[in-house]
A and B are shown apart, each in its own frame.
Chain A
Amino acid sequence: MGLEDRRAQEPDVYQPAEDSHLLAEAACERLERGDLVLEVGTGSGYVAHQIADETGARVIASDLNPHAVRQARSAGVETVRADLVSPFRDGAFDAVVFNPPYLPTDPENEWDDWMERALSGGEDGRAVIDPFLADVGRVLAPDGSVSLLVSSLTGVDEVVEEAGEHGFSAVAVADESFPFETLTVLELFR
């Protein structure tokens, strides 16, 4: 589904799509009861809710978008309005999960509204992923790991390389192909 179609359905909050399902499934497989998990950019709260429901882990969900945190909270998810991982303590989480805005977007084509913020990764698709990779290590427990959804449109190799710059090794734990892109869930660990 293209940006235009997605925008027409729900103007303020990104709703669960193929990427959300793939990320939730991959995260559920390796998380367990007792884990403390952060979902960054939760949107509707779908992924956070699935993880909490399926694994019994405690999931905290954050989003920049005030409409998203309200929607996620009404879905029963613990929510915080935040910029990426900035208001979370050092070493707090066993896992961080993120389905980032990753679509490369022509600057002249941006709408400057909440749905654009949820989808657009800037010109190279990595405008949000790069600062996330720079800071996420701080909030991970020593054995903690990151589940990050990446599209072939964003460049999986480029993301793996950038993660390496911040001390992470990357393994692809799930992928699914669509006509215009392949979605991959990367697990990042140190």
Chain B
Amino acid sequence: MALIEINQLTFSYPLATKPTLKDISLEIEAGEFVVLCGTSGCGKSTLLKHLKRELTPHGQMSGTIHFNGVALQDLPQREAASQIGYVLQKPELQIVTDKVWHELSFGLENLGYDSMTIRRRVAEMASFFGIQTWFRKNTTDLSGGQKQLLNLASIMVMQPQLLILDEPTSQLDPIAASEFIATLQKLNKELGLTIVLVEHRLEEVYPIADRVIILDAGEIIANDTPIKAATRLRHVDAHHPMLLGLPTPLRVHHALKQSDETPLTIRDGRTWLEKHYEADHKQIQEAEPSGEVVLDVQDVWFRYDRHAEDLIRGLNFQLHQGEFLSIVGGNGTGKSTTLGLITGLLKPHRGKVTIFNKPLKKYAKKDLYQGMISMLPQDPTTLLVEKEAQLELAMMSKDQTAIDRVIDLLQIRHLLAQHPYDLSGGEQQKVALGKVLLKNPKILVLDEPTKGLDGESKQVLARILHDLQRQGTSILMVTHDVEFSAEHATSCAMFFDGEIVAKGTPAAFYSGNHFYTTATNRICRQLFEDVITTEQLIARCQSQQEVMTHV
């Protein structure tokens, strides 16, 4: 008997014209690690919420769901709460109480366990997740990664059989994300925990899944082992937007049309590549940024609290006209803070920021933020004020043609009448970006613009940024998305210990890193040192294939 059995599940939200889930049938065995993926808005979260009774959305539902052979709605309350664990998407919002220890014990309190049991279980989980050192802290003082770990731990104390996670790594830096995934893998392997996970960042989780389910407009289009699911996806539609989201080894293998076994992990990808292709020492030609310097940061120091340590220590860098600089770095190292400093929102206690050869301090606010520099913040909802998305845009500009242009550029016409809070995370991101673009800034500052976006939306964003760049706009972006950064930025930098420790053209920058680099580079660094994007790799391999066929 399968742990979860879904039979012909169809669901539509109230007032919706089309069902969000269509005739879904699937089984999940105990101990499986299942990854669920699909484009934005295809119904992933909706499906997950159906597995957790307490979260099932209101609407028209037909079909059945069984857990351990019992219909989900007949499951005793206590069992439903403890046996199925659900980690929500935004780590900040799952936390209920103000102390770490209380958060860990919250679920057990609800289940009515006695103090001794709670003490033992909490102690055990805190040790497993390495929470001992911050056990008595306030939950507000935790870093993003710690919050996410706490969320997972506070579900795990309830000893669930099934663990459901909705995009658990979307706010984490690449290293924290892969640590988090490794923890999940450990839970799955060592405790036999069944895991169902939704992700847009598939590079890490896809290979370790036992099974991959691909959803498209509310229907399952593939449900198989990772490799077979990918093949199936290609058969359904050779240009399916989801293909862009698959892990690099698969995409390269598909693109090069080799017929042998598909590599899945970085290691397999590397072996496979070495079998078929030869090393070369061609250099990718990249232009150093050359335009006029539009932003100059000199020896900037900053701290939030007079008594705290400096967070930014001697920061130096320059942004040139038409340059697209992307900054990567760990959670909580001060990237967003840096953006605050260069936009004049925060004041350094030492050092100087110059914009267009004029010190930032000398600008009147209304000149600075009206066309000179604008920022898309990390949290797009901080920009959303109105009751309808279109009013958000209307308040930024009186020029209707400009508004229409932005709407078409971002492809958000169908969202205009909605309440901003009814939009998905990715859609909110687009509306907020629209507001920023309407300011026509000469320097555009973006704080993690790609989070929550699927592969296709990212390409739309990239096109917009390239257009702006061509028109002379300079772009500064902070991101955890190394793939996006490698593919589209003209220069990349690493933020560490309060300053920028390395800056260079993408190929030079990423080929020098070990962890902060793209999956592509990790696969092929032995053969083609400076190749960092999938397109480059495919092109390089194709050129070898051509040579070989000509010989």
Bound together: no
